[in-house]
Amino acid sequence: MNYNKPSYLYSDVLKKFEDLEKKLQLDKSKINNVHWWDTCRYEIFNDLNIKLGLRNKSPKKETSKKFKFIKNVLINFFNFFLKNSPIWISKNANIIFGHPRRKYEDGVYIDQYVDPFIDLFPESFKFTIIERPISNHHLKPAKSKKIFYADFLLDLINIFSKFIKFELNHDNQKILSNLEKNLNNEFHCKVDVKNKVKNKICYWIAAQTIMSLFFRMKKPKILFFVDTVGQEAVISAAKSLKICTVELQHGSPSRGKLNYDYSSGIDKKSFPDYFLSYGKYWSSSCKFPIVEKNIIPFGNSYLYRKKKFYSKIKKENRIVILSQPAVTDLLEFTYKLAKKFYGKITIEFKPHPKEFYYNEPDYFKKLRDLGVIISEKNSDLYEILAKSRWLVGVYSTAIYEGLFFDVSIFILNVAGSENMKNLIELNIANLVSSPKDINLNWKADTKIKKDIFAEPTKKKIDFIISLAKN
């Protein structure tokens, strides 16, 4: 397959970027009392990789028109006083900032990261969920009982941030100009650092101010986060009030994923106090910005439950393609794979949830015309993995989950596949560049899967409970 190869290697870009942030001591820099590199690092690195052709842009959500935005704010304002508003959260609760991308199961929408986690704990240990919207709405009915919607809190932060104005002083101008200049010299492309940093700082100040006030009122014991990208100011507010913060793993931290990987040795001030990983494998996949003992291999109860539920499903001659909207090369690969194996094996294309946000994309029809099955919107990924023998992906967390279901893993050799370097080097995933590289007889040693996905234990559950007593 002839892909358009970028002129830079991802590993080289990563090394140069990390060398640069260390040289400029960006983690030590503060603007308006904000450690801005905490919240800008991940996004600036992603923007750089997009410009260098090492990543594709994710599909953008439609931006609300002014009238629609005002309408939504007014609706959210009135909803703020109804029963699902955060103002009614009890004091001293254990609050989880959940994930809005729920899955439909047994007549309700579940948060696969939060609901099975809550089920592990005794009823006496109370949890409260705060959920942000997805595409301006929430998936209902939700399995979660104590769920509160953050819509107006987020509106308030966004509106407040628009009124925050400040000018960069000479020293700050110099730091940001120096960063832009160095990025341009190293990679020969322009990254708009100043505007991004100013916008992020305004949002940080607004979020920290409002959430600090909210936390002072509610006095939560523990704050749990499913996804901490963009939540740095909220974590900072909690830390300033000495509230324990914990992240539940939901993705696949690896070398080069700079929301988790701090191998360069710099600090991140707004990382949670504890990280509950799926298993002990993850602390070796990258260097987290917290001490090793605070990375707890807690496990993944949802995955174990699914494995047990689908344990009697027989394997089929089926290969599943895990789509990622930002990886357009995967589509071209699927077209050619379908032609190669037409009539020989079943090929199923599992779209990413983002591909269902709007109208059905045109390429779905082309895939169907080639005999490819398109997974339904609410199809269960784990049922698909349970009956599949092979899987092709680039860097999705579901690749690791496929390993847990004894699926032979093929990683497409395109930008992003470097995130799966560990699995490839351990010979439990096979790197391929074209359909002709797919060896249907190849099998991997799956002994490591228990290190990747542990089963929660009473000891670890009791440890989390103890955090609320400190």
> Domain extents for the chain?
7-299+455-470, 306-452
Residue ranges of alpha helices (H) inside 52-169 are 66-79, 115-119, 151-162
- Residue 222, CB-side half-sphere exposure with 13 Å CA sphere: 21
pLDDT (tens place) for every residue of the chain, 470 residues total: 344 445 788 889 999 999 999 999 999 999 999 999 999 999 999 999 999 988 777 655 555 566 676 777 788 777 777 788 999 999 999 999 999 999 999 899 999 999 999 999 999 999 999 999 988 889 999 998 899 999 999 999 999 999 999 899 999 999 999 999 999 999 998 999 999 999 999 999 999 999 999 999 999 999 999 999 999 999 999 999 999 999 999 999 999 999 999 999 999 999 999 999 999 999 988 999 999 999 999 999 999 999 999 999 999 999 999 998 777 789 999 999 999 999 999 999 999 888 887 788 899 999 999 999 999 988 999 999 999 999 999 988 999 999 999 999 999 998 889 889 989 998 899 999 999 999 999 988 778 888 999 999 999 999 999 999 87
Listed in sequence order, the residues at least 6 apart from 233 whose beta carbon sits closer than 8 Å to its beta carbon are 39, 203, 204, 205, 206, 207, 208, 211, 270
Would the CA dihedral through 263, 265, 268, 269 be positive or negative? positive
Cα-based distances in Å from 249 to 61, 99, 335, 427: 25, 11, 33, 24
Euclidean distance between CA atoms 58 and 42, whole angstroms: 15
- Nearest residue to 424 (alpha-carbon basis) of 229, 327, 433: 433
pLDDT score recorded for residue 358:
73
Which residue shows structure tokens 């050619």? 336
- Per-residue confidence (pLDDT) for residue 65, from 0 to 100: 64
C-alpha to C-alpha distances, 181 to 9, 194, 195, 258, 341, nearest whole angstrom? 21, 12, 15, 21, 50
The reported pLDDT for the residue numbered 2 is 40
pLDDT (0 to 100) of residue 71? 74
Question: What is each CA distance from 298 to 62, 277, 409, 460, in whole angstroms?
Answer: 37, 6, 25, 6
pLDDT at 449: 86
End-to-end CA distance of the chain: 57
What is the distance between the alpha carbons of residues 341 and 278, in angstroms, rounded to a whole number? 35
CATH number of 306-452: 3.40.50.2000
Query: At 432, phi and psi to the nearest 5?
Result: -130, 150
Taking alpha carbons only, the member of 171, 192, 154, 133 closest to residue 32 is: 171
